[in-house]
Amino acid sequence: MHTQSDRYPPISPKCPHMLHGGDYNPDQWPTEVWAEDMRLMKAAGCNAMSVGIFAWSRLEPQEGQYEFGWLDRIMDMLAENDAFAILATPSAARPAWLDARYPECCKVTAEGQRRDHGMRHNFCWSSPAFREKVTAINTRLAERYGTHPALLMWHVSNEYGGEGSGAPCYCELCQAWFRDWLRDRYDNDIETLNHAWWTAFWSSRYESFDQIDAPGPLGERAIHGLTLDWKRFNTHQAIDFYRHETSTLKRITPDVSCTTNFMWAFEPQDYWQWANEVDIVSWDGYPGWHCRGDDVREAAGAAFNHDLFRSLKAGRPFMLMESVPSVTSWFPVCKLKRPGMHKLSSLLAIAHGSDTVQYFQWRKSRGATEKFFGAVVDHVGHEDTRVFGDVAELGRVLKKLDGVVGTTVRSEVAVLFDWPTRWAVSAMSGLGHRHRNYLGTCMQHHAAFWTMGIGVDVIDQTVALDEYRLAVLPMLYMLRPGMAEKIERFVADGGTAVMTYWSGIVDEHDLCHLGGWPGGGLRKVFGVWDEETDAICEDDVQRLVLSEGNELGLAGEYEIHQLCALIHAEGATVAGTYGEDFYAGRPALTVNHYGDGKAWYVAARTGQDFLDDLYGRLASDLGLRRTLDATLPQGVTARMRTNGETDYVFVMNFTDAVAGVDLGETTFADVVNGGEVAGRLALPAYGVAILSRPAVEA
Ligand code: GAL
């Protein structure tokens, strides 16, 4: 929970407003269109453009021959037009001369094959030649533009680890680095590693660190400790490369912030390890509006990510660095954003703590793979398009949100979503492949709070729990060092924890806890022993039957799908039992009073209906702060940002029908349209209102 009453500083002191703009590639266009770009940017209310992300071959067309003239002009034009540059380092895509001269820059695949030149993001993190060339270009960029009035901040590379699903490089340099990293991690003691990785299995014992190779299709992939450490190492490598890039920028421009754009809960990189590396968190969000079935679920998924990226820096506003103004070109079905959705989806990010709405891309590329990817400026070339109109309308709204800049979201609830746990769950063999769904499960628990309009942080195991009142721990399969103790203290001190099936099973090396699950001492905190787990087939339905007079005060039955843990209550009170099969009548939901707090154990995978009801009751019992007091209609949520003096309330309708929202007793100011709003708020389909009120204290 964040209690600060002052606002955070803006993304850059140069521009204390909401940032609006996006990836701008003037290097792809003749100079004649640049002036028109500037005019259109003004018309769209854009003030911050990401420039030069993939421009290396225009900046250094031949090795050591730099051409900055075009960028000088663009920087000047931005400054002349009261706009700023989020200036990129160009490492994400390499010029042909570089790979031809230094083939070691290209990644090696897991099969040991050096990749050819082409595509982007596919460089080797270790290559000394690549690092040297990156330093050379970054130095020149920093020296040339460090004091330029248009320079707002550094956009370091692009989506580190992206393309090719973040496949790492397996070259000899990377493998050697991995071995050194392991030596460090295991105190240079191979027997410590052998124990941690349980290498007695299948005669996998190593006699020396030199014998270890990265896991891959041609070699070892049954040792989960190895798989996990390789994943951890991949994050370490990417961060090391980021430090390499930023060391130059920080030396020459110490006062200019650096960021690199993250991706939608991106599996290969543990973004919590990144949290202190970047000055500002930024991410690229591409929800599949209208085309993946359910916009409300899609919005909740985007909200999960927004909450995660805000939580990385304990509530500090983040940047939505990329989003699409109309439609992506790579969804299975590329459906256009319906009227209203552009403003709504953009303000969803703001409501969750973004201080920017940036796009990919400003002007639709004329050729190559992104030529049909949504853009502010279409191939038609003028502003009389539906999409441009939507963007310009949003621009007008953002101009009215100066007061929101730097405010934060307060959360009394934390949902735990942890990268090493996720890696371990996907590496393991068990439960059934489709049943694991760790990310989806965390999102489901999070969605229950999002629907109620209750602020929630998405944290990992490194974050302290003390300031939260409710800790939600879905599928806490892995207990990293200190986590069990943290939960124990949290509950003993009066917190409420909800943990599910498949928790407390392994330690940080993926070695199973012995002596009954949940391990690490959590068996006594939750008062249960989780003996075995039944994974039921897709069409099978189990039932959760709530016990009469249970502590939740809920009655009735709920469906259970996929996973059912067979638990024993060892001190916990049974609040619900199974209704079917040979374990009918055994506990499926329990609560243990431990110290001053309560520890709930949800033994089975229910649908969203039960989670909504469970957390609805807990929210009432705990008196958790809701953005609006009244129950919100289906598909409508309300989020709040505050600076302790003013609350900014975003009421958002993700359905295609008009919705009426009860505002209770409060009279709000309408931040965008002016005037007052009270009583019942009518929101059109995909409508959004931004209201303010004097801050309501907890
Ligand atoms: C992002 C990437 C952009 C652009 C966009 C649309 O992931 O950073 O450069 O490719 O996707 O495909």
Cα 45–46–49 angle (5° rounding)? Answer: 175
Amino acid 2: pLDDT: 46
The mean per-residue pLDDT over the stretch 233-242 comes to 98
Q: Report, at the CATH architecture level, how domain 413-622 is classified.
A: 3-Layer(aba) Sandwich (3.40)
Residue 375, ligand 1, Cβ within 6 A: no
Split at pLDDT 50, 70, 90, the class of 698 is low
Share of the chain above pLDDT 70, in %: 99
| Ligand 1 centroid to residue 325 C-alpha, Å | 13
N-terminal to C-terminal alpha carbon distance within the chain: 11
Residue 636: phi and psi, rounded to 5, are: -110, 135
Residue 284, ligand 1, Cβ within 6 A: yes
463: CB partners within 8 A, 6+ apart:
311, 414, 457
Could you tell me how far CA 472 lies from the centroid of its own chain?
17
Amino acid (one-letter) located at 685: A
Q: Which of 119, 330, 370, 371 to mutate to test the pocket of ligand 1 (most atoms within 8 A of CB)?
A: 370
CB atoms near residue 485 (< 10 Å) = 13
Amino acid 165: pLDDT: 59
Nearest CA to ligand 1 atom 5: 360
Nearest CA to ligand 1 atom 6: 360
Residue 60, ligand 1, Cβ within 6 A: no
Split at pLDDT 50, 70, 90, the class of 164 is low
Residue 518: phi and psi, rounded to 5, are: -70, 135
Rounded CA gap, 221 and 576, in Å?
40
Residue 370, ligand 1, Cβ within 6 A: yes
Rounded CA gap, 282 and 88, in Å?
13
Residue 373, ligand 1, Cβ within 6 A: yes
Cβ density class 233-257: b for 16+ within 10 Å, e for less: bbbbbbbbbbebbbebbbebbeebb
Is 207 designated active site? Answer: no
What are the DSSP calls for 231-255, one per residue? HHHHHHHHHHHHHHHHHHHHHH-TT
Nearest CA to ligand 1 atom 10: 370
* 353-397 pLDDT tens trace: 999 999 999 999 999 999 999 999 999 999 999 999 999 999 999
Residue 360, ligand 1, Cβ within 6 A: yes
Q: Which of 50, 91, 159, 369 to mutate to test the pocket of ligand 1 (most atoms within 8 A of CB)?
A: 159
Predicted confidence (pLDDT) at residue 182 exceeds the cutoff of 60: yes
| Ligand 1 centroid to residue 116 C-alpha, Å | 21
Rounded CA gap, 98 and 104, in Å?
10
Q: Which helix (H) or strand (E) holds 264?
A: none
Beta bridge partners of 154: 87, 258
Residue 160, ligand 1, Cβ within 6 A: no
- The residue from 60, 104, 159, 383 that is catalytic is 159
Amino acid 427: pLDDT: 94
Pairing of strands 668-670, 688-694: antiparallel
Predicted confidence (pLDDT) at residue 25 exceeds the cutoff of 50: yes
| Ligand 1 centroid to residue 412 C-alpha, Å | 34
Predicted confidence (pLDDT) at residue 1 exceeds the cutoff of 60: no
Burial of 139 (0-12, 13-18, 19+ CB in 10 A): middle
Amino acid 344: pLDDT: 98
* 293-321 pLDDT tens trace: 799 999 999 999 999 999 999 999 999 99
Residue 359, ligand 1, Cβ within 6 A: no
Rounded CA gap, 305 and 62, in Å?
40
Between residues 698 and 534, which one has the greater pLDDT?
Answer: 534
CB atoms near residue 141 (< 10 Å) = 25
475: CB partners within 8 A, 6+ apart:
421, 425, 438, 441, 442, 500, 501, 502, 503
Half-sphere exposure of 181 (CA within 13 A, CB side): 20
Nearest CA to ligand 1 atom 11: 360
Atom of ligand 1 nearest to the CA of 54: 9
| Ligand 1 centroid to residue 80 C-alpha, Å | 28
Amino acid 555: pLDDT: 95
Residue 159, ligand 1, Cβ within 6 A: yes
Residue 282, ligand 1, Cβ within 6 A: no
* 107-127 pLDDT tens trace: 999 999 999 999 999 999 999
- The residue from 60, 220, 298, 322 that is catalytic is 322
| Ligand 1 centroid to residue 40 C-alpha, Å | 22
Rounded CA gap, 284 and 159, in Å?
8
| Ligand 1 centroid to residue 354 C-alpha, Å | 19
Predicted confidence (pLDDT) at residue 408 exceeds the cutoff of 80: yes
Split at pLDDT 50, 70, 90, the class of 434 is confident
Cα 416–418–422 angle (5° rounding)? Answer: 125
Closest CA to 53 of 83, 91, 22, 85: 91
Q: Which helix (H) or strand (E) holds 578?
A: strand 573-578
Q: Which CATH superfamily is domain 47-280 in?
A: Glycosidases (3.20.20.80)
Nearest CA to ligand 1 atom 4: 360
Residue 441 DSSP one-character state: H
| Ligand 1 centroid to residue 373 C-alpha, Å | 9
| Ligand 1 centroid to residue 509 C-alpha, Å | 34
Q: Report, at the CATH architecture level, how domain 636-694 is classified.
A: Sandwich (2.60)
Pairing of strands 659-662, 496-500: unpaired
Cβ density class 650-662: b for 16+ within 10 Å, e for less: bbbbbbeeebebe
Q: Which of 360, 362, 363 to mutate to test the pocket of ligand 1 (most atoms within 8 A of CB)?
A: 360
The mean per-residue pLDDT over the stretch 439-452 comes to 98
**What sign does the CA torsion over 439, 441, 446, 451 have?**
positive
Share of the chain above pLDDT 90, in %: 96
The mean per-residue pLDDT over the stretch 10-25 comes to 98
Rounded CA gap, 432 and 152, in Å?
49
Residue 327, ligand 1, Cβ within 6 A: no
| Ligand 1 centroid to residue 283 C-alpha, Å | 11
Amino acid 3: pLDDT: 47
Closest CA to 597 of 692, 465, 509: 465
Rounded CA gap, 287 and 374, in Å?
13
Is 538 designated active site? Answer: no
The mean per-residue pLDDT over the stretch 132-151 comes to 98
Could you tell me how far CA 119 lies from the centroid of its own chain?
25
Domain spans in the chain, listed from the N-terminal domain onward: 47-280, 413-622, 636-694
Amino acid 167: pLDDT: 86
What are the DSSP calls for 107-125, one per residue? -B-TTSPBPPS-SSS-B-S
The mean per-residue pLDDT over the stretch 648-674 comes to 97
* 525-563 pLDDT tens trace: 999 999 999 999 989 999 999 999 999 999 999 999 999
Atom of ligand 1 nearest to the CA of 330: 12
| Ligand 1 centroid to residue 363 C-alpha, Å | 13
The mean per-residue pLDDT over the stretch 131-139 comes to 98
Mean pLDDT (the chain) is 96
CB atoms near residue 269 (< 10 Å) = 21
Q: Which helix (H) or strand (E) holds 138?
A: helix 128-145
- Cα–Cα distances (Å) from 14 to 79, 154, 155, 167, in that order, read 12, 14, 16, 38
Residue 158, ligand 1, Cβ within 6 A: yes
Q: Which of 182-186, 216-220, 329-333 has the highest mean pLDDT?
A: 182-186
